[in-house]
Amino acid sequence: MPLTLRDARFASLGKPRRLWAISAIHGETERLIDLHNTLFEYIEPGDRLIYHGNYLGHGPTPSATIDEILTFRRMVMALPGMVANDLVYLRGGQEEMWQKLLQIQFAPNPTDVLLWMLDNGMASTIEAYGMTAQDALTAALEGVMGLTRWTGRIKESVRRKAGHEIFASHWRRAAYIEAGETAVFTPLLFVNAGIDPARALTDQGDSFWWAGKHFNSINVPYAPFQKVIRGFDPAHGGLHINCVTATIDGGCGFGGGLVCAGFGPDGEIFDLIEA
């Protein structure tokens, strides 16, 4: 029976000819540019392109990474036959932290939360939007009003970056190809870092970002999907593919490469591009 989701948190990939899945980027703009330059030669009408999130954090140029994604979107959309829904952007753990950071004045223990975020990659994103980690810590010491003023300045900086605010509104928690009598593609699920196999898709909550530890040990299909593909491995274990899962993280942002995997209708990888 086909999966029927009418939930804006999830993106249906329809019935693609092929799928191109890009792993976590972590602010490595130059690698993304190199990958985009290669990938552009392969994209054809009927293809889908999915980014697995973690555009921000760790790497040196998170803001420029968003600029490059938006530039590449314009290039792809200019190709005859391509439509807006052919490009899908997942929300990664870095983006989840970023959204929480912009509301950190409401956190019960904002200083502790802020220190945890800084330890997990947020410092480079804060700096990319014209602030510093020290600014944030100083604001936290000033209390709720200080943090409110600080988050207000960050939000204004984001608004000044053309397309960045609207880009954030298009982040999805997962993307899928559903099974059905007329489906020509193996049913697949694309996530950022992991899933909880014991929960339904709509009940995953923050498992998409923080349940990655045991992902590679999943050994039965997560129904109704035949395979789950993630773009970030928090353990940095490299590419890992079995019959029911695939990890396509090359370690971008942590000394490794940026990976794009091409999936055919059988759900198998037919090509790997690395930058």
The string of pLDDT tens digits covering residues 132-167 is 999 999 999 999 999 999 999 999 999 999 999 999
87 contacts 74 by C-beta, under 8 angstroms: no
Burial of 266 (C-beta count, 10 Å sphere; 0-12/13-18/19+): exposed
The string of pLDDT tens digits covering residues 247-267 is 999 999 999 999 999 999 999
Superfamily of domain 10-92+172-274: Metallo-dependent phosphatases (3.60.21.10)
Neighbours of 141 (CB within 10 A): 9
Domain locations in the chain as residue ranges? 10-92+172-274, 96-160
Specify the pTM.
0.95
CA angle 223, 229, 234 (to 5 degrees): 120
Phi, psi of 259 (to 5 degrees): -120, 140
